[in-house]
Every structure is written in structure tokens, then in C-alpha cells.
Amino acid sequence: MKTGTYIKKIAVNGELTYYDMQQTAPLVNAMRTISNNINQIARKANETHSIYAEDIEILKGGFSEICRMLNQFLSDLPSTKR
């Protein structure tokens, strides 16, 4: 759908939902930090060609858990219909 068409349609029939995202700033910053750490580990593993499969699984599991928690947090955010 083109942007103009979407705007017309939402203006006539739609309802906007506003989310106060100020509470998420620390969480997003923490996710950035974790992502940077994972990238550093990946770079080092590529340089040395040495990493254990168990370490990778631990990282994947931790990251998946963080993503699950973030999704839960975001789904619980209060919204305001506008």
C-alpha cells in the first residue's frame, strides 16, 4: 500500500495507538550493550578460529531469553488510543 493511501485510509477509518516508550530506554540500551558484546565474541572467534559449541549455545540461550523478556515487557506497555 502506498504511503498516501495508507494515510488517507487511517485518517478516515483508523485509530492511532500511542505508546509511552520512555520506560524502555534503559532496556534498549542494555540490549545494545549485550549485542556489542556478542559481536566482539564473534569477531574474536573468527580471528582465532576457536570457539566451543557449548559457548555458542549458551550465548544463543541467553539472547533468546533476553528477547523473550523484552517482548513480554513491550506487550505489557500501557497504550493510549488517540
0.75 cut: is pTM over it?
Answer: no
DSSP 49: T
pLDDT at 82: 54
pLDDT at 34: 80
pLDDT at 79: 63
The tens-digit pLDDT sequence of the chain (82 residues) is 788 888 887 888 877 777 777 777 877 887 788 888 788 888 888 888 887 788 778 788 878 888 887 888 778 776 655 5
Q: Which residue has the cell 545494545?
A: 32
pLDDT at 20: 73
Whole domain around residue 10: which residue ranges? Answer: 3-81
Overall domain count for the chain: 1
